[in-house]
Structure 1
Amino acid sequence: MADKEKAESKKILDWKTFRRLFDFIGAYKKYFYLLIFLTVLTAVFGPSRPLLIQFAVDNYIVTGDYPGLVNISILMVVILTFEAFLMYAHTYLSNWLGQTVIKDIRVQLYQHILRLRLKFYDNTPIGRLVTRNVSDIETLSNVFSQGIASLLADVLLIFAILGVMFYTHWQLTLVSLSLLPLLLLSTYIFKEKIKVAFDQVRAAVSNLNSFVQEHITGMSVVQIFGSEANESKKFKEINREHRKAHLKSVLYYSIYFPVAEIISAGGTGLLVWYGARGVLHEEVSLGVLIAFIMYINLFFRPIRMLADRFNTLQMGIVSMHRILTLLDDKDHIPNEGDYAPEHIKGDISFDKVWFAYKDEDYVLKNISFEVKEGETVALVGATGAGKSSIINLLSRFYEINKGTILLDGHDVNDYDLAHLRTKIGVVLQDVFLFSNSIKENIVLGNTHITRDQLLTSAELVGARRFIEKLPEGFEYNVMERGSTLSVGQRQLISFVRAMVYDPKIIVLDEATSSVDTETEELIQSAIEKLMKGRTSIVIAHRLSTIQKADKIIVLDKGEIKEQGTHTELLAKNGWYAQLHKMQYKEVAE
């Protein structure tokens, strides 16, 4: 991936990406065309000041025409005021258009990410997605504010000044531009050097962000193992590389701009020397010489900025290419079904299901079982046996490779995806809470859930009492990942979150494996109420929690080894009996 990104940065301009960028501007065409008009108008008025100065010197100052000088001065003030307004309108409109388009791209990108399969997240670093949503889009915004419009304005201004200069006095123009090849060469060298430096800065920033994010998240591990000194040493080294990369870019700027200034000053010196001779020999008017001194400054200024503008544009196009690559990724679960019954019974059937997370490395092999309405089925087996994969397939977080999964006799692919998932309540072992209130972590932005539903669900699960004891009750902010709550409290909130939708199917994935005995008893009581009248799938390592299940399915390496009730499986003296003996021995010890 890194080599691919370096190759992208070496391209002068990716015109295909550039054209697609303009697709996002489509909704704002009239503003874009207005921006182009303002850009052209700004370039046209660029040479106006030197022209007016030339006219004033040759026609009023030299001749001593004071009234004429007053009139031309008033005209200059009017034109300068209009030019200032043009610059304001151009700057504001280019930034407004840029930020508006960026807003649309950011929303579209985030909505696209929301629809991607979980398989995509299994294979994609989260830091890369954060970079696409934040850093790359921020870089892209510079294309509008400092790239396209500014680059076009600079180029048009250069040609406008050149046209007026050649029309006014072509010999002075050639003398003025005699050092231009030297400036262009230094600009090209600077552009290449600063592009490499910017790549190094970007890589250094990425490394710094990744290190800080990862180690702040895992700070408890760092402190538990007393690794603060080692991690501090690593951070200093990464920070040193970051500083080194930035100083290299500063070095190139500190060399280029003085060199460009010297070349510009040299051009002005040649102009004054040659022009002064012309004035003394009455071949050039004083007004023309003064105007040309102003022209040369106006001309060299955008030349010096072109390298910066071009690099900004190039980096923006590279960022846009990365964003488009993500947007073009169609690794999302197709939602082609439209079956959305108001009520479902909860009959579940897996028929010869095969599933692999990658290629044909199957984690589930020929899985077949049935769960009738209102029944409880328990999935047991060692870590990696395929228990969690089964519930992921039922909710269509992943797509099966072969076989069929039926819900109430209908293929799960026929269901509307959002509707299907609202009918399945899931409580996971690792509870994720957002940095928000308890209420928002339960309803997740669903405005259809009433206050009564919220309180009833919390009461049923047994969480209402501890929630209402918190400083702000249901409005209490649990902070990032629920860090201000205990493991048991987070688990209870996850139960309320599942319960508030009144699902017909309940999935409990190691739901009580991380809580204390008192909280487990509270949850077990809530589970019995939660399961009543609902189809339930329970995943548990502790066999004591699933002895009352209507059916127990024993999995090993993705295959079903045994099915039956607790009593039946013990009588077989097979896989389940062996697991039971091992756990009984552990408890006894």
Structure 2
Amino acid sequence: MKKSRKIPVQEYTVLLKSYLRPLRKAITGLSALLILGIVMQLVNPQIIRYFIDTAQTQATTAPLMYAAVLFIVVSLLQQGVNLAATYIGENVGWIATNKLRGDVAAHCMKLDMSFHKSHTSGAIIERVDGDINNLANFFSNFVVTLLSNLLLVAGMLVLLFREGWLIGTGMTLFVVLAMLAIQHIRKYAVPHWGNLRQMSSKFYGFLGEHLEGTEDTRANGATGFVMYRFYQLIREWMPIRIKAFLGWASMWITTLVVFTIGNAVAFALSAYLWKQGSITIGTVYMIFYYTELMSKPIEKIRTQMEDLQKADASIIRIRELLQTESAILDGIGQPIPQGPLSVTFDKVEFGYEEDSTTLHGIDFHLQRGKVLGVLGRTGSGKTTLARLLLRFYDPREGGILLEQVDLRAATLKDLRSRVGLVTQNIEIFQGTVRDNLTFFRDDIPDSRMIGVMEELGLGEWYHSLPHGLDSELESGGGGVSAGEAQLLSFARVFLSDPGLVIMDEASSRLDPATEQKIEKAISRLLVNRTCIVIAHRLSTIQRADEILILEQGRVIEHGDRTRLAVDSRSRYYQMLQVGMEEMLA
């Protein structure tokens, strides 16, 4: 059997301190309520013993009435205390787990692209939501409930020892046996919960990936393969789920057996002591009551151990995720100037994998306010240039400068606010037009948003919306044409007011009529900004001041566009003669 991984107690302590410290008042109140509940649980059997013994020895019913009323009052008060403790515990659990969920989600957003390329969105969602859901009880009342139940058991044993060393010793042995048995079974159950969480992550990662690409799956007739793989994962999941369930069932069955043994011991010892005349019939019932009552905290402890075994696997996975460091480290905060930005690539080398190189010694300078057209076949490294400028990746060698500021010296927030990217794949999120334009920023006035849309050719579309900026857009751009989505992406960039705009084949999927409309918007967007245009069409490149041609990750030509256009020896000249599309095919 696979050996279970153990987390030091310090790991639990650090996690609890980090997320429960702000809730210490609620935790203190919860502790007080649970202690009060313990006292009432210990008192009630004493009241019942008094009632039984008094009924046998006194003719008057007044003491019995008082005992009955006291029992009812204590029982009702106990229920109220339990209700309040449950409410506070659940509230604490939700606040703590939501804080952890937010921290894990924010950490994932900060990790570099290599992490997201190696983990599917479904697998990440399972980490952020599924694993943290398993920690709800761990945060809400794990320590407090565990300690209170242990205190309840200890209190009952003390009261039983007061009745006699024999009954006290017998019940102590029963408790020790129960705890050892539960702990022994738990060692065999923990690994299966870890495997189950891992398998769950794998399945939802697969499902999320193919749900996102459902159009391509259908168009290419791959539905059969996807369903085959779906059922294959289900078959792989089933035995792991069964083993995890059997681990839970073994703990449950062990608890039942132990309780049965405990009741038998209590009956045997009580009968013996009663025959000896050492205890009254009321005490016999009290011992039996305590034995039955003892099963509840032990069952609670067993449940807590079961939750802990789930938490073990989840904490391991969450800890590993939080300890994953981004390969892209934030800069020291050197500010990037306002206005148009010059761009310098200084002998940059880069590869996505250690054993391969995508860019070889890229070396060029683009003056501020100029437009650079980047040409090259698919796979030549054009898009990689854009990714490096936004620091989705860092170069292996060399440096990239914006206005003499090394990208690695600026903060990522400052860099990405000064560099705008427009791609051919436009993401429209489910939300209002306002949210899609500003990405939930609240410092941009409505009048500016409307003015930008009208300026970029979206005025007619905007005025047709039923609720203006509050109109809801569908996820994936449903109900929005390709041209409108493209113009929305330009509006986003325009509102962020970057000094450098990168357009990565931004109009390659549009028809000529729509592209002409886009061209007008681009002309407005590029005023007083530096721009790098990655394109496949000659019409898109006509506004460029300079041309840079890549081939297999190397610069094979760079220079002034008008000069290259009349130089019969240049590659760009040849493209103009035979057609750029043919030369780049």
Normalising by structure 1, what TM-score? 0.88
Change (3 A) 1:64 1:205: farther
Question: What SS is found at the alignment partner of 2:431?
Answer: coil
- In 2, the alpha carbon distance for the partners of 1:426 and 1:484 equals 23
Counterpart check, 1:20 vs 2:14: yes
Partner of 1:379: 374
Q: Tell me which amino acid in the other structure corresponds to 1:573.
A: R
What is the deviation of 1:511? 0.8
- In 2, the alpha carbon distance for the partners of 1:351 and 1:345 equals 19
- Give matches, 1:173-188, under 5 Å: 173-175=168-170, 183=178, 187-188=182-183
- Give matches, 1:390-409, under 5 Å: 390-409=385-404
Partner of 1:218: 213
Per-residue CA deviations over 1:372-423 (Å, capped at 9, x if unaligned) read 2322111111222222222333333333343343333444445454344333
Counterpart check, 1:293 vs 2:293: no
What is the deviation of 1:18? 0.8
Change (3 A) 1:147 1:427: same
Partner of 2:314: 319
Deviates more, 1:162-171 or 1:516-525: 162-171
What is the deviation of 1:470? 4.3
Counterpart check, 1:107 vs 2:85: no
Question: What SS is found at the alignment partner of 1:25?
Answer: helix
Per-residue CA deviations over 1:538-558 (Å, capped at 9, x if unaligned) read 111223421342110111222
Assess if the C-alpha contact under 8 Å between 1:17 and 1:317 holds in 2: no
Per-residue CA deviations over 1:414-448 (Å, capped at 9, x if unaligned) read 54543443333321121112111222111111222
Assess if the C-alpha contact under 8 Å between 1:350 and 1:369 holds in 2: yes
Per-residue CA deviations over 1:497-520 (Å, capped at 9, x if unaligned) read 112233333221101111112111
Alignment equivalent of 1:120, drawn from 97, 107, 115: 115
What is the deviation of 1:209? 2.3
Assess if the C-alpha contact under 8 Å between 1:183 and 1:260 holds in 2: yes
Partner of 1:339: 335
Change (3 A) 1:260 1:390: closer
Alignment equivalent of 1:63, drawn from 53, 58, 65: 58
Change (3 A) 1:498 1:253: closer
Q: Tell me which amino acid in the other structure corresponds to 1:456.
A: G
- In 2, the alpha carbon distance for the partners of 1:223 and 1:121 equals 25
Partner of 2:5: 11
Partner of 1:441: 436
Change (3 A) 1:39 1:464: same
Q: Tell me which amino acid in the other structure corresponds to 1:339.
A: P
Partner of 2:343: 348
Alignment equivalent of 2:142, drawn from 126, 147, 170: 147
Change (3 A) 1:34 1:201: same
Per-residue CA deviations over 1:15-55 (Å, capped at 9, x if unaligned) read 23112112322223343344344444433443222222223
Assess if the C-alpha contact under 8 Å between 1:347 and 1:535 holds in 2: yes
Assess if the C-alpha contact under 8 Å between 2:434 and 2:470 holds in 1: yes
Assess if the C-alpha contact under 8 Å between 2:120 and 2:209 holds in 1: no
Assess if the C-alpha contact under 8 Å between 2:196 and 2:237 holds in 1: yes
Q: Tell me which amino acid in the other structure corresponds to 2:14.
A: R
Partner of 1:52: 47
- In 1, the alpha carbon distance for the partners of 2:243 and 2:59 equals 55
- In 1, the alpha carbon distance for the partners of 2:478 and 2:101 equals 29
Assess if the C-alpha contact under 8 Å between 1:91 and 1:145 holds in 2: no
- In 1, the alpha carbon distance for the partners of 2:226 and 2:342 equals 53
- In 2, the alpha carbon distance for the partners of 1:493 and 1:276 equals 84
Deviates more, 1:282-291 or 1:169-178: 169-178
- In 1, the alpha carbon distance for the partners of 2:23 and 2:397 equals 47
Show structure 2 runs of 5+ residues with no match: none
Assess if the C-alpha contact under 8 Å between 1:349 and 1:371 holds in 2: yes
- In 2, the alpha carbon distance for the partners of 1:404 and 1:584 equals 31
- In 2, the alpha carbon distance for the partners of 1:534 and 1:261 equals 75
Change (3 A) 1:283 1:449: closer
- In 2, the alpha carbon distance for the partners of 1:293 and 1:183 equals 17
Normalising by structure 2, what TM-score? 0.88
- In 1, the alpha carbon distance for the partners of 2:420 and 2:572 equals 27
Partner of 1:460: 455
Question: What SS is found at the alignment partner of 1:299?
Answer: helix
Partner of 2:80: 85
- In 1, the alpha carbon distance for the partners of 2:429 and 2:267 equals 68
Partner of 2:485: 490
What is the deviation of 1:287? 1.1
Question: What is the number of equivalent residue pairs in this alignment?
Answer: 582
Question: What SS is found at the alignment partner of 1:339?
Answer: coil
What is the deviation of 1:168? 1.2
When the two chains are superposed, the root-mean-square deviation of aligned CA atoms in Å is 3.3
Show structure 1 runs of 5+ residues with no match: none
Question: What SS is found at the alignment partner of 2:555?
Answer: strand
Deviates more, 1:483-492 or 1:409-418: 409-418
Question: What SS is found at the alignment partner of 1:561?
Answer: strand
- In 2, the alpha carbon distance for the partners of 1:209 and 1:416 equals 34
Question: What SS is found at the alignment partner of 1:569?
Answer: helix
Partner of 1:553: 548
Identity of aligned residues (%): 26
Deviates more, 1:201-210 or 1:450-459: 201-210
- In 2, the alpha carbon distance for the partners of 1:291 and 1:306 equals 23
